[in-house]
A and B are shown apart, each in its own frame.
Chain A
Amino acid sequence: MSGREGAQGAQREGDGQVVRAILAGDTERYAELVTRYRDRYARYATRMLGSADAAEDAVQDAFVRAYDQLSQCRDPDNFVGWFFLILRNRCFAERRKSKDVAPLEAAGAVIAVERADVPVEMDERRRALQHALLELTPEQREVFVLKHVEGLSYGEIAERLNTSVPSLKMRMHRAYDRLREQLRGRE
């Protein structure tokens, strides 16, 4: 997605300039990056973790960690790509931990927010698929989310994750089969 960021004209400085300014001591400018990318990966994190609450915490944590480690960002012009990897690691780590503990939803999640605009049956199928997604490995879930939720092509995903298209396809095809298995089991 870094290519899509696109210049919004001369008013806004590129990420690289903002990052360099922060590292030079103008730390308050981190607020610009936060505002810019606050929601960029909100949906990705929500689908990866299965809960908006967990996703919000993951995004917050990633922003704080990115701030702490800003001097380690090797390509300031691609802050958003680097930030994505931090968030990604965080999402992966979260699932690793919560394998030992009942996931948030099963534990009696905070609020059951019903979406009034979505018909009940569709809502149920969405939930079923989200639940099935959570049964995949994080790597499988991720390729599915990036392609089918975020709408990236295999090529774009490969670039972002620094891997090859064939290996992504292999992962995805395993995911398809496992999803089918999960969803059929529920009928």
Chain B
Amino acid sequence: MKTLCVSLLLAICSTAVSAQDVTARLAGRVPPDVATLVRQLATSAAARGLPVDPLIQKAIEGSAKGVPADRVATALRGLVAQLDVAAAALRDAGSAQPDTDAIAAGAFAVNAGLSGKNVTALAVASRPSNSVPATLRVASTLAAMGVPPAETVELVTNVIDAGGSSADVLALPTQVMAGVSEGRGRGVTPAQAAAGLSRAAAARANAPGQNKPKHGRP
């Protein structure tokens, strides 16, 4: 009950604060029309419980890269859509009010090529022992490295199921990269390296005596 009150309070406060915050952070960094658009998008996004920070970052990035305002606008709208997809995916995973860090991480995963369903599966697998945002970020990195979405989800899920800690999950991109490097002469792809790690994890999870963590369901 106390947590609910606190989070409602925070939600109200953050919406009220964000308008000033947005203006301050954009000042001098983006042209006025972009700033106006960001404020509009940020207000409606915050009202839906979406994080505003990614929008601000993206606007600043576009301006720094010298991208014309209309192109920035398109990118920002696309980002809002990704945030919405991520939020929906996390709600499907059982979060009534997904936290903004997880949504941001989910949107990034979507940008990296994962689907809403992938995000849901990863969120479900993460609970209760692993951090959802951290898991999503690792999955994004794997996808960005070229591991196909299905293999990414399978690898991360198998490692968590085998009792993997956050540190084990965090180490996955390095391990996949190592697998690719070691197999360079044989043309090992990231997908293959990931599959190898995945099999090993699955074997650990199914080994006798394993206490498989239950996840997702209350």
- Residues of A at the B interface (CB closer than 8 Å) are 100-102, 106-108
15 A-B pairs (CB sep. < 8 Å): A100-B175, A100-B178, A101-B174, A101-B175, A101-B178, A102-B178, A102-B181, A102-B182, A106-B181, A106-B182, A107-B178, A107-B181, A107-B182, A108-B181, A108-B184
Assembled-state Cα–Cα distance A100/B175 (Å) = 8
- Residues of B at the A interface (CB closer than 8 Å) are 174-175, 178, 181-182, 184
Closest A residue, CB atoms, query B178: A101
Assembled-state Cα–Cα distance A1/B174 (Å) = 38
Q: Which 9 A-B pairs have the closest CB atoms?
A: A107-B181, A101-B178, A102-B182, A102-B178, A102-B181, A108-B181, A101-B174, A101-B175, A107-B178
Q: Which residues of A contact B182 (CB under 8 A)?
A: 102, 106-107
Q: Which residues of B contact A108 (CB under 8 A)?
A: 181, 184
- The CB with the most chain A CB atoms within 10 A, among B174, B175, B178, is that of B178
Closest A residue, CB atoms, query B174: A101
Assembled-state Cα–Cα distance A101/B172 (Å) = 11
Assembled-state Cα–Cα distance A108/B185 (Å) = 12
Assembled-state Cα–Cα distance A128/B182 (Å) = 19
CB distance from A51 to the nearest CB of B (A): 15
Q: Which residues of B contact A102 (CB under 8 A)?
A: 178, 181-182
Closest A residue, CB atoms, query B182: A102
CB distance from A100 to the nearest CB of B (A): 8
Q: Which residues of B contact A101 (CB under 8 A)?
A: 174-175, 178
Q: Which residues of B contact A100 (CB under 8 A)?
A: 175, 178
Assembled-state Cα–Cα distance A108/B184 (Å) = 10
CB distance from B206 to the nearest CB of A (A): 22
Assembled-state Cα–Cα distance A101/B175 (Å) = 7
Q: Which residues of B contact A107 (CB under 8 A)?
A: 178, 181-182
Q: Which residues of A contact B178 (CB under 8 A)?
A: 100-102, 107
Assembled-state Cα–Cα distance A107/B185 (Å) = 11
Assembled-state Cα–Cα distance A107/B183 (Å) = 10
CB distance from A60 to the nearest CB of B (A): 20
CB distance from A108 to the nearest CB of B (A): 6
Q: Which residues of A contact B174 (CB under 8 A)?
A: 101
CB distance from A37 to the nearest CB of B (A): 31
CB distance from B3 to the nearest CB of A (A): 36
CB distance from B198 to the nearest CB of A (A): 17
Assembled-state Cα–Cα distance A102/B174 (Å) = 10
CB distance from A104 to the nearest CB of B (A): 10
CB distance from B167 to the nearest CB of A (A): 12
Closest B residue, CB atoms, query A107: B181
New A-B pairs, 7, CB < 8 Å, besides A102-B178, A102-B181, A102-B182: A100-B178, A101-B175, A101-B178, A106-B181, A106-B182, A107-B182, A108-B181
Closest B residue, CB atoms, query A108: B181
- The CB with the most chain B CB atoms within 10 A, among A101, A106, A108, is that of A101
CB distance from B173 to the nearest CB of A (A): 11
